[in-house]
Amino acid sequence: MYSKKLPKICIVLLTLLISLTVVTNVVGAQSPKYVFYFIGDGMGASQRQAAEYYLQAVERDENTRLMMNQLPVVGINTTHSADSLITDSAAAGTALACGYKTNNGIIAMLPDGTPVKTLLEAAEEKGMATGLISTTRVTHATVAVFASHNINRNAENEIAYDYLDSGVDFLVGGGYRHFVPQDWEWGKSKRKDDINVAQRFYEEGYNIFLTEDDTAKFRSFEPKGKEKVFAALTYSHMPYELDRIDSEVPSIAELTAKGIAVLEKYDDGFFMMIEGGRIDHACHANDPAGSIYDTLIFDEAVATAYDFYQAHPDETLIIVAADHETGGFGLGFGTNYFLKMEPLMAVKASTADILQSKYNGNRSQFFDFIAANYGLVDLSVGEKSAIEKAMDMVDTGIEDKAKRYGGYDPVAIEVTHIISERANMNWTTYAHSGTVVPLSAVGVKAEQLGGFKDDTEVAKAIANVVGLNLN
């Protein structure tokens, strides 16, 4: 006679199967304990690919890949702001940090001035340690949107003061000028008051590192427990990577490693945003080598985080995003079908910080300088003529209205455009462009970051994956 009762062995197996399913679902529902949110400011697809092609040329290996280009989950993001199809970093940063569109120039607020919660603030509510790292001033837009709220991105003195209430545990980058009082005896200040924000950080228990003179102390600092760090190592932005190489200033990869060393001491994990801010600045100045070098060192920071991920694969999430593209950077020029990396290999200094201030009226001295530092030892008649016309503009103070230089020194721009054209690269603007930007990710639930998304959806996806409340 057929029995409706299951044999004992089947009951046991069914019980085990249900138990395994429950365990699997619980594990699958876990959120990452460690979150790295990389934002390459101005880093579009061309910036990433130019850096990879350059690395392949230097290493003579066409199989060489950027770390960020090896991450398994990929996406494409739109970047427009609430009031423009071309965003600035404040509005794009707000979208990436808060999940809301706002107008250009606004920091973590809606267009009507209503503050919106950031991923970093939500991470703190969850009990996670938090970190902000940048190669710009830490009061600059992309950093500020994570821990400050202001209707005006240029109110950097106010933003500096806001950080005192932010609760961020590791705040490192440039721009000490906004944290020290106006008559600070050890250096210059941009403040118009006597408030010593850095001193207040110290009084709240932070380890403080200010100016280039504290670089060695910062490098040697080793946390003994749950420590807090505030470091503003330069007066304004950190140097471009091309210029930093010969300085004592730590790279963004070093800053990332130090951030890990400090924040991994906390029991409940961490949320860390790392901005490669000077990729954007190089592209504003149409500087191909500057963009490439800053992208490469940014990728080393990603590789540093990836090493941590390999040690904690079931607890870590890495996202590499961008706020927008800068410069309308084109890999191709005219009717030619080639790119040449060799013209960029001779470049030893940035356009915006070094070349911008080099022409002083002494033409032969300038030509000697660009020969030695930019590889321009064999200028054609046309190339030399273009530079000399720019020199005429500077000497007379009369700029050719038919040519636009984006507010930069015409002589420097003519030089960087010659280098770009020799590499067969081109620029459409000195500002941002409206093109979509790439994203890549790896780690716990990284697949939720992939696909075609608006930048606001990236923030919401991160909140969902990490278990953060942005409302």
Q: Is the pLDDT of residue 1 over 70?
A: no
Give the catalytic positions in this structure.
Answer: 89
Q: Is 140 annotated as a binding residue?
A: yes
The stretch 243-248 carries a mean pLDDT of: 93
Distance from C-alpha of 103 to C-alpha of 340, rounded to nearest angstrom: 39
Q: According to the model, what pLDDT value does residue 467 have?
A: 98
Q: Is 237 annotated as a binding residue?
A: no
Q: According to the model, what pLDDT value does residue 399 have?
A: 79
Q: According to the model, what pLDDT value does residue 189 have?
A: 97
Q: Is the pLDDT of residue 273 over 80?
A: yes
**Contact status, residue 305 vs residue 32, Cβ threshold 8 Å:** no
Q: Is the pLDDT of residue 358 over 70?
A: yes
Residue boundaries of the structural domains of the chain: 32-329+431-466, 342-422
**Contact status, residue 290 vs residue 54, Cβ threshold 8 Å:** no
Average pLDDT, the chain: 94
Q: Is the pLDDT of residue 2 over 60?
A: no
Q: According to the model, what pLDDT value does residue 401 have?
A: 72
The stretch 238-250 carries a mean pLDDT of: 95
Show the DSSP H helices in 74-188 as ranges.
Answer: 89-98, 119-125, 141-144, 156-162
The stretch 218-228 carries a mean pLDDT of: 97
Q: According to the model, what pLDDT value does residue 340 have?
A: 96
Q: Which of 314-328, 350-364, 401-415 has the lowest mean pLDDT?
A: 401-415
pLDDT band at 381 (very low <50, low <70, confident <90, very high): very high
Q: Is the pLDDT of residue 9 over 80?
A: no
The stretch 353-372 carries a mean pLDDT of: 97
The stretch 210-215 carries a mean pLDDT of: 96
Q: According to the model, what pLDDT value does residue 400 have?
A: 77
Q: According to the model, what pLDDT value does residue 430 have?
A: 97
Q: Is the pLDDT of residue 6 over 50?
A: no
Q: Is 287 annotated as a binding residue?
A: no
Q: Is 97 exposed, middle or buried (0-12, 13-18, 19+ CB in 10 A)?
A: buried
pLDDT band at 15 (very low <50, low <70, confident <90, very high): very low
What would the two tokens of residue 201 be? Answer: 């950080």
Q: According to the model, what pLDDT value does residue 29 have?
A: 52
* DSSP of 185-232: TTS----SS---HHHHHHHTTEEEEESGGGHHHHHH---SSS-EEEEE
The CATH superfamily label for domain 32-329+431-466 reads Alkaline Phosphatase, subunit A (3.40.720.10)
The stretch 84-98 carries a mean pLDDT of: 98
In this prediction the pTM is 0.93
pLDDT band at 27 (very low <50, low <70, confident <90, very high): very low
Q: According to the model, what pLDDT value does residue 355 have?
A: 98
Percent of the chain with pLDDT over 70: 94
Q: Is 280 annotated as a binding residue?
A: yes
Q: According to the model, what pLDDT value does residue 124 have?
A: 98
Distance from C-alpha of 168 to C-alpha of 154, rounded to nearest angstrom: 21
Q: Is 284 annotated as a binding residue?
A: yes
Q: According to the model, what pLDDT value does residue 233 have?
A: 98
Distance from C-alpha of 280 to C-alpha of 323, rounded to nearest angstrom: 10
Distance from C-alpha of 340 to C-alpha of 336, rounded to nearest angstrom: 11
Q: Is 15 annotated as a binding residue?
A: no
pLDDT band at 10 (very low <50, low <70, confident <90, very high): very low
The stretch 356-384 carries a mean pLDDT of: 97
Q: Please name the residues in contact with 310: beta carbons below 8 A apart, sequence gap of 6 or more.
A: none
For 384-417, write each residue's pLDDT tens digit. Answer: 999 999 999 999 998 777 778 999 999 999 999 9
